[in-house]
Chain A
Amino acid sequence: MLDGSAASTYTCDVAPSPLLTATALTVRFPEPLTFRGLIGRRAPPRTVLEGVDLTLGPGEIVGVLGANGGGKSTLLRVLAGLVAPTIGAVEWGPSVSAPALGVADERSFHWRLTVAENLRYFAALQGAAPAAVPEALARVGVLDKADVPVRICSSGMRARLGLARALLRAPPVLLLDEVERGLDAEGRTRLTAVLAEYANRGRAVLLATHDPAMAPSMTRALVLRGGRLVFDGAPAAAFEASSAGAPT
Chain B
Amino acid sequence: MSLRLARATLRRDFLEAATYKTYAVSRLIGLAGLLFSAWFVARTFAGHEPPGLSASGGYFGFLIIGVSLSDMAWALFAGPADRVRQAQLTGTLEAELASPVPVLPWLLAQGLFPLIGAALRALLGATVALALADRLPDADRLPGLMLACALTLLALWPVGLLGGALTLLLKRADPIGRGLHAASMLLAGVAYPVDVLPARLQDLAVALPTTHALTALREALFGVPAAGPLLALAAFAAVGWMLTPFAVRALDRAARRRGALVQY
Q: What is the distance, in angstroms, from A27's C-beta to the closest C-beta of chain B?
A: 7
In the complex, residue of chain B having the shortest beta-carbon distance to the beta carbon of A175: B98
Question: B92 and A125: CB pair below 8 A?
Answer: no
Number of A interface residues, CB 8 Å? Answer: 38
Report if B44 contacts A (CB, 8 A): no
Which of the listed residues B4, B11, B15 has the most CB atoms from chain A within 10 Å of its own CB?
B15
Q: Which residues of A contact B12 (CB under 8 A)?
A: 110, 113, 117, 121
Report if B19 contacts A (CB, 8 A): yes
Question: B100 and A108: CB pair below 8 A?
Answer: no
**Chain A, interface SS category:** mixed
Bound together, the chains give a CA A5 to CA B256 distance in angstroms of 38
Q: What is the distance, in angstroms, from A203's C-beta to the closest C-beta of chain B?
A: 17
Bound together, the chains give a CA A68 to CA B25 distance in angstroms of 47
Q: Which residues of B contact A27 (CB under 8 A)?
A: 259
Q: What is the distance, in angstroms, from B6's C-beta to the closest C-beta of chain A?
A: 9
In the complex, residue of chain A having the shortest beta-carbon distance to the beta carbon of B8: A124
Q: What is the distance, in angstroms, from A72's C-beta to the closest C-beta of chain B?
A: 13
Report if A112 contacts B (CB, 8 A): yes
Number of B interface residues, CB 8 Å? Answer: 31
Question: B258 and A30: CB pair below 8 A?
Answer: yes
Bound together, the chains give a CA A196 to CA B8 distance in angstroms of 32
In the complex, residue of chain B having the shortest beta-carbon distance to the beta carbon of A125: B99
A-B CB proximity, top 10 nearest = A107-B91, A124-B8, A108-B95, A84-B256, A125-B99, A101-B98, A112-B19, A98-B100, A29-B259, A126-B99
Please list the residues of chain A having a beta carbon within 8 angstroms of any beta carbon in chain B. Answer: 27, 29-30, 48, 73-74, 77, 80-84, 86, 97-98, 100-101, 103, 105-113, 117, 120-127, 149, 165
Please list the residues of chain B having a beta carbon within 8 angstroms of any beta carbon in chain A. Answer: 4-5, 7-9, 11-12, 15-16, 19-20, 90-92, 94-101, 106, 253, 256-259, 261-263
Enumerate 10 A-B pairs (CB-CB under 8 Å) in ascending A order. A27-B259, A30-B258, A82-B98, A101-B95, A103-B94, A105-B94, A112-B20, A113-B15, A124-B8, A165-B95
